[in-house]
């Protein structure tokens, strides 16, 4: 059986969903507690009571309006997302750009293929290839039998040219990802309605990963 609860601190709970009363009233503007009451508890087929914080009062069941609220939970869930993340055009764009930026992380970390082996393409903490290339590029050589580990932790002997090529592949992957992300951000910012922003598809145009152009 479903539950509808109005807590003393004005939180509405419907089963596993919760929201504040201010939002709930945007969906159900006629809802209210009985005069002088500060909370409500309704469990279908079991109990319905309201309280002023000291004294409780049992009410009849079924609570017809409460049954309606419980059956409308999915509507409130979807509306709360809009209320929170798409309340106006500016915030809607910020939300969508944030989603696109998070999506781009899959591609920054999508790895690169060099000489048939797949190497890490980490961004924030530099990849192993980047770290060692930065270390040995000044001398132009690497120690004898120097190796890199691929994403499966297998060791492959590489020279300074290999390090340079792998690092370049990682840079190219990051740049291609940057450019596509920037294109999507520009497109989102050019939209003029909240619905257009909500409907915008940012999953197109990304480089193929693991990256091997």
At 138-149, the pLDDT tens digits run 888 999 999 999
Residue in 56, 5, 9, 55 with CA at minimum distance from that of residue 31: 5
Regarding pTM above 0.85, the answer is no
The structural domains of the chain, with segments of one domain joined by +, span: 3-85, 89-199
User: CA-CA distance, 203 to 94, in Å (whole number)?
Assistant: 17
At 30-57, the pLDDT tens digits run 999 999 999 999 999 999 999 999 999 9
At 169-185, the pLDDT tens digits run 999 999 999 999 999 99
The pLDDT value given to residue 125:
60
Radius of gyration of the chain, Cα coordinates, nearest whole angstrom: 28
Average pLDDT of the residues in 190-195: 97
At 62-75, the pLDDT tens digits run 999 999 999 999 99
User: CA-CA distance, 46 to 3, in Å (whole number)?
Assistant: 10
At 14-23, the pLDDT tens digits run 999 999 999 9
Give the C-alpha distances (Å, rounded to integers) separating 177 from 54, 120, 132, 170, 199: 60, 15, 23, 11, 22
User: CA-CA distance, 121 to 118, in Å (whole number)?
Assistant: 9
The pLDDT value given to residue 124:
61
The pLDDT value given to residue 127:
82
């Amino acid at each position: 059986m479903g539950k509808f609860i109005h807590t003393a601190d004005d939180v509405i709970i419907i089963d596993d969903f919760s929201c504040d009363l201010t939002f709930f009233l945007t969906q159900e503007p006629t809802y209210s507690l009985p005069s002088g009451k500060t909370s409500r508890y309704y469990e279908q087929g079991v109990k319905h009571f309201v309280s002023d914080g000291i004294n409780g009062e049992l009410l009849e069941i079924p609570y017809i309006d409460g049954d309606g609220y419980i059956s409308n939970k999915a509507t409130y869930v979807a509306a709360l997302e809009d209320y929170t993340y798409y309340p106006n055009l500016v915030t809607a764009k910020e939300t969508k750009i944030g989603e696109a930026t998070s999506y781009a992380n899959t591609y920054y970390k999508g790895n690169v293929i060099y000489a048939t082996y797949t190497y890490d393409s980490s961004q924030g903490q530099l990849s192993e290839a980047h770290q060692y290339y930065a270390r040995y590029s000044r001398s132009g050589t690497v120690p004898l039998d120097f190796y890199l580990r691929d994403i499966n932790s297998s060791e492959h002997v590489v020279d300074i040219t290999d390090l340079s090529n792998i690092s370049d592949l990682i840079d190219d992957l990051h740049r291609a990802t940057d450019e596509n992300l920037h294109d999507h951000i520009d497109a989102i910012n050019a939209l003029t309605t909240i619905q257009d922003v909500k409907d915008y598809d940012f999953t197109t145009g990304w480089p193929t990963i693991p990256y091997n152009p």
